[in-house]
Amino acid sequence: MKNKKIPSPLLSLLPIVALVIMLAITIYLFGSDALGGGSQICLLIATSICVLIGMAGYKRRWKDFEKAITNNISGIGTALIILLIIGALSGAWMVSGVVPTMIYYGIQIIHPSFFLVSTCLICSIVSVMTGSSWTTIATIGIALMGIGNAQGFDAGWIAGAIISGAYFGDKVSPLSDTTVLAASVTGSPIFTHIRYLMFTTIPSLVITLIIFTIAGLSHEATNTGHIAEFSQALDNKFHISGWLMIVPIATGIMIAKKVPSLITLFLSTAIATIFAIIFQPQLLMEIAGEAENHALALVKGSMSILFGSTNLEAGSAEINELIATRGMSGMMDTIWLIICAMCFGGAMTAGGMLESITSVFTRFAKTCTGLVSSTVASGLFLNITTADQYISIILTGNMFRDIYEKNGYEGRLLGRTTEDAVTVTSPLIPWNTCGMTQATILSVPTFTYLPYCFFNIISPLMSIIVAATGYTIVRKVKKPTEVTESVA
């Protein structure tokens, strides 16, 4: 049982090729509605191809596939709950007036020429503080999307700046679960891991900021009238008040106190809902659609913004779209897609196809540059096939740990390369948990923002470039005691 035959790399690629072709056809047929069911069907068909190959050609048992799929799905339970709470939080923050207030003041404070670079920097700082790209994007990211829309920026550029900054913090923050996981899997102390990350991360961020600065300065700020109209519409629809900033401030305090993400998001949602009752009762009444019983209408409206979609009329189609919310129900397509993606990843693992394909990458690990390049390619491939960054980090670390050790390289090199390859590329893949989540939260398709996520694109390339120069790449020197211990 331990020496099971595995499919050839070429055969192992068949489910992936089939998936890509089916997704392309589905996107062509359904467009932006592909996430509503078509993409999920594609993933399940690709899963069935994996199972068919494994059971018919390589005598894999159905129980092996079932166990791998179950393990994958159980591993994302917390992420699914966070997604649901983020759906409720986005509804509460919008209807309570928190996001409109941030947009209202933001479009007056942030100059259009420096909006993109400011957005990237703000998200970088917030994500370092939170340790979570998801939390950063779901809160300040939504507000920045509104500010950028008001200033006339393309949605892809705005989302690219937000995601670039958010994943900088997700990659280097000591509060980030991916940072801790990568350090743990590769056997590096957390702060040693973070310090070593800086040699590739800081240059990547600097280049990204330069690009966003140039793009911002090239942006023609000819829409001052549009900005004034945008501000007026928000002021007419919402009760704009500085008191509403208590919600993000309270959220920031909880983050600084290292309150767990689930608790922070839940309490932030609860506080925003209370503020909605205090500051925006007329909107809750409008959403409830009842005027007979004021108290019950407020309760109904408060619940509706948490679990359902809302469509408020603000006099402009653009602003109507901005302030529309989807609540928990708006996350269901994403959750459905994530579960289907986990089925595909589990089937690829149980069928031995991941093992077969990743073995190809290890053949090129002859030099340091080849080793790092193989790690980057493998991490990106695992992000595509397993559709989850946590699984990809674990598999990449475990697969290359002995190879790095054998070649005398420290675990921190593997840890850094794994983060450069996996953590930051996960939101660039439409069916990855991160790609699906960010596209859903920001209402921008993954392929629309992908070309503008400069930090995420540059980071894996920077990892290879630094390895090629040999800068900070050192081999471990065996101590006499280590040799003695190995002989003993």
User: pLDDT tens-digit profile of 185-198?
Assistant: 777 887 788 889 99
What's the average model confidence in pLDDT over 395-409? 79
* Percent of all residues in the chain with a pLDDT value above 90, rounded to a whole number: 25
In the numeric block, the tokens 């957390």 are attached to: 190
The domain in which residue 92 lies consists of: 78-330
Residue 84 has pLDDT above 80, yes or no: yes
- Report whether 201 contacts 459 (CB < 8 A): yes
What's the average model confidence in pLDDT over 358-374? 79
Q: Give the integer Cα–Cα distance in Å for 455 and 366.
A: 28
Q: Is residue 145 assigned to a domain?
A: yes
Residue 64 has pLDDT above 80, yes or no: yes
Angle (CA) 27 443 121, round 5°: 125
User: In the structure, what pLDDT confidence band is assigned to residue 66 with cuts at 50, 70 and 90?
Assistant: very high
The per-residue pLDDT for 52 is: 93
The per-residue pLDDT for 388 is: 75
Q: Is residue 355 assigned to a domain?
A: no
Q: Is residue 50 assigned to a domain?
A: no
The per-residue pLDDT for 71 is: 86
Q: Is residue 226 assigned to a domain?
A: yes
Residue 481 has pLDDT above 80, yes or no: no
**Which of 58-67, 313-322, 326-335, 339-348 has the least mean pLDDT?**
313-322
The per-residue pLDDT for 331 is: 79
pLDDT, tens digit, for every residue of 209-246?
999 999 998 877 555 556 677 778 888 888 988 899 89
Please count the structural domains in the chain: 1
Q: Is residue 40 assigned to a domain?
A: no
Q: Is residue 221 assigned to a domain?
A: yes
pTM, 2 dp: 0.69
User: In the structure, what pLDDT confidence band is assigned to residue 130 with cuts at 50, 70 and 90?
Assistant: low
- Higher-scoring residue by pLDDT: 421, 330: 421
In the numeric block, the tokens 């003041």 are attached to: 105
- Higher-scoring residue by pLDDT: 298, 484: 298
User: In the structure, what pLDDT confidence band is assigned to residue 206 with cuts at 50, 70 and 90?
Assistant: very high
**Which of 28-37, 53-62, 165-174 has the least mean pLDDT?**
28-37
Looking at every residue in the chain, the average pLDDT score rounds to 83
Residue 179 has pLDDT above 70, yes or no: yes
The strand pairing partners of 475, in sequence order, are: 409
Q: Give the integer Cα–Cα distance in Å for 275 and 253.
A: 18
**Which of 30-39, 134-143, 430-439 has the least mean pLDDT?**
30-39
Q: Is residue 14 assigned to a domain?
A: no
What's the average model confidence in pLDDT over 265-293? 87
Residue 465 has pLDDT above 50, yes or no: yes
What's the average model confidence in pLDDT over 301-307? 92
What's the average model confidence in pLDDT over 127-136? 77
Q: Is residue 197 assigned to a domain?
A: yes
* Percent of all residues in the chain with a pLDDT value above 70, rounded to a whole number: 92
Residue 58 has pLDDT above 90, yes or no: no
